[in-house]
Chains A and B, each alone.
Chain A
Amino acid sequence: MKSLFRPDQIPDAAILDNHRPLLRSLERRNFLRGGLSLGALSLLTGCDTSRPEAIESALRAISDMNDGVQQLLFNPNKLAPEYPESMVLNPPKFNAKYDVMSVKPVDPATWKLELAGRIEQKKPWTLPEIAALPKKSMIIRHICVEGWDYIGQWSGVPLRAFLERVGADLSAKYVAFKTADDYPSSIDMATALHPQTLLALDYANAPLGDPFGFPLRLRMATKLGYKNPKWVTAIEVTNTYSGGYWEKRGFSWFAGL
C-alpha cells in the first residue's frame, strides 16, 4: 500500500546534480552527507525542492552548523603533527585561484603591513620591522581541499605574539586578512592564537619565493590550505564576520583539520 506520507509530487532527482559543488564542500561530514537524501531535503525545505535558493540555504545551514561544531571542538592547546626536515618538499607546491604566470610579485621596498579594527597601535609595519621580531619554525602538512598535500617548513612571527605586541583585542571574534592578490580571508580568534599559526616569512630557511606569498603570508597547521592567504597586506581584528574569497563561493569558513 502506498505510504500516507508519500508526497503527490516527487522531487526532481536533478536537484542533487545541480548542487553537487555545495554537497562536495560538506565532504568532511560524511555522516551528514549520507543523511542528505531527496526526502531529507524536502523536510528541510518544506517539500518545495523546486526552488534552488531554498535548497541552497538548507545546505548552507548544514555547512554553517558544521562550522559551529568545529569551533566548539577546536582545542586551542592541541598541536597538529610536525615532521622531520628530511620530509620537506622544496620548492613547495604552487597553488592559487589563478595560474603562476599571473602572479604579481610584491615590491618589498614599498610593502607595508597595515593594521585595522580592534588594535591599539595601528602604525603600519615595514618588512625589516617584522623580520626583526622573534621567529618560530614549524614543519607541517599542507592539506588542500582538492585532495593533495605536502610537508613544508615555515618560519615566521607567531600571530599570537604579533597581536599581543600591537595591543589587539584578543577577545574579539575574528582576525581578517587582505592580500595583494585580492584574496580576502578571515579566521576565528582561537585559531589566530594557536601556537602553530604564523605570519610566515621563510620557507625551508630562505625567504618565501614570489609565487608562495613573499614577503608575508599566513600559515596555520590546523586549517585547510585555502584558509592561508599569501601576499598579506593588512590585518584587521574585528567582531564582524567577513568570510573570504572561497567562503563567498560556498566553501566552509572554519575549514579545520
Chain B
Amino acid sequence: MSPTGALAQSREPGGMPPPDGMSLAQSAAMRFPQSVRVGDLIGRAVLQPVVTRRAYGTVKQVVRAADGTVNLIVDYGGFLGFGARPIAIPVDATVLVGVEIGVVAYKPEDLDKLPAFSEGGATPLPADSSIKVGLAKPFH
C-alpha cells in the first residue's frame, strides 16, 4: 500500500492564490476555463476550498463591472440567513468544482474586508449568456 492512496484528492488547488507578479486573469487562464451558462450559475453554492467545504453563500447574480471584470455576486456572511450582505467576487478568483464554486484566490479574511456590493456601474449578465470559469480538482 502506497501512502499516495490517501491523496486521491488534493487539499488545495495548485497555483492559487496567484504568485507575485501574476494577475488573477493570468492564473485563471492556467486552469482550463470552461464556458458556463450564467443562468446555470445562479443559486450555486460558493465554498472555501477546504476539506470541511465551508459555505460562504450562494450566487445571486453575475455582473460585469465598469472596468470589464466579471463578478459573482454572493450573499456573504450572516448567520442562519440573517445579516448576510452581497459581495462581488471576481470570477477569475473562483473555480468550478462540479456543481459548486470554490473561491481560491481569497481567504475568508480577505472576503470579510470586501465592501457590500452596490449596483452602480455594474451590468447584470443575462441568464442565456456564457462566461468562462477555471477548474480545480475536488477539495472535499
Where the two chains meet, the residues of A that have a C-beta atom closer than 8 Å to any C-beta of B are: 19, 21-22, 25, 56, 89-103, 144-148, 150, 209-211, 226, 246, 248-251
CA distance A175 to B13 in the complex (A): 33
B32 lies within 8 A of A103 (CB): yes
Where the two chains meet, the residues of B that have a C-beta atom closer than 8 Å to any C-beta of A are: 1-2, 4-6, 8-10, 13-15, 30-32, 34-37, 40, 96-99, 134-138, 140
B56 to chain A, nearest CB (A): 19
A248 to chain B, nearest CB (A): 8
**Interchain Cβ contacts under 8 Å between A and B, 19 examples:** A21-B1, A91-B34, A91-B36, A93-B96, A93-B138, A94-B137, A95-B137, A99-B15, A100-B136, A100-B137, A101-B14, A101-B15, A102-B14, A145-B8, A148-B140, A150-B98, A211-B34, A250-B2, A251-B5
Residues on A with C-beta less than 8 A from B37 are 90
The answer to whether A95 and B5 touch (CB under 8 A), given A101-B30, A103-B32, A210-B32, is: no
A89 lies within 8 A of B14 (CB): no
Residues on B with C-beta less than 8 A from A101 are 14-15, 30-31
A26 to chain B, nearest CB (A): 13
CA distance A90 to B34 in the complex (A): 9
Instruction: Tell me the nearest residue of chain B to A149, going by C-beta.
Output: B98
Given A147-B140, A211-B135, 10 other A-B contacts at CB below 8 A?
Answer: A89-B99, A93-B96, A94-B96, A95-B9, A100-B32, A101-B30, A102-B14, A145-B8, A146-B9, A246-B5
B6 lies within 8 A of A21 (CB): yes
A-B contact count (CB 8 A): 86
CA distance A100 to B136 in the complex (A): 6
B120 to chain A, nearest CB (A): 32
Among A89, A95, A98, A211, find the residue whose CB has the most chain B CB atoms closer than 10 A. A95
CA distance A96 to B10 in the complex (A): 10
CA distance A210 to B10 in the complex (A): 20
A249 lies within 8 A of B1 (CB): yes
A217 to chain B, nearest CB (A): 15
Report whether over half of chain B's contact residues are helix, strand or loop; otherwise say mixed: loop
Residues on B with C-beta less than 8 A from A144 are 138
A16 to chain B, nearest CB (A): 14
A93 lies within 8 A of B32 (CB): no
Residues on A with C-beta less than 8 A from B31 are 100-101
Per a CB cutoff under 8 Å, which of B6, B8, B10, B96 touches A91? B96
Per a CB cutoff under 8 Å, which of B4, B6, B36, B135 touches A100? B135
The answer to whether A249 and B32 touch (CB under 8 A), given A99-B10, A99-B14, is: no
CA distance A93 to B14 in the complex (A): 17
B14 to chain A, nearest CB (A): 4
Instruction: Tell me the nearest residue of chain B to A103, going by C-beta.
Output: B32
CA distance A93 to B34 in the complex (A): 11
A150 lies within 8 A of B99 (CB): yes
The answer to whether A211 and B8 touch (CB under 8 A), given A56-B1, A99-B137, is: no
CA distance A25 to B135 in the complex (A): 27
B4 lies within 8 A of A146 (CB): no
A18 to chain B, nearest CB (A): 9
Residues on B with C-beta less than 8 A from A95 are 9, 137-138
The answer to whether A94 and B99 touch (CB under 8 A), given A21-B6, A211-B32, is: no
Instruction: Tell me the nearest residue of chain B to A206, going by C-beta.
Output: B35
Residues on A with C-beta less than 8 A from B1 are 19, 21-22, 56, 249-250
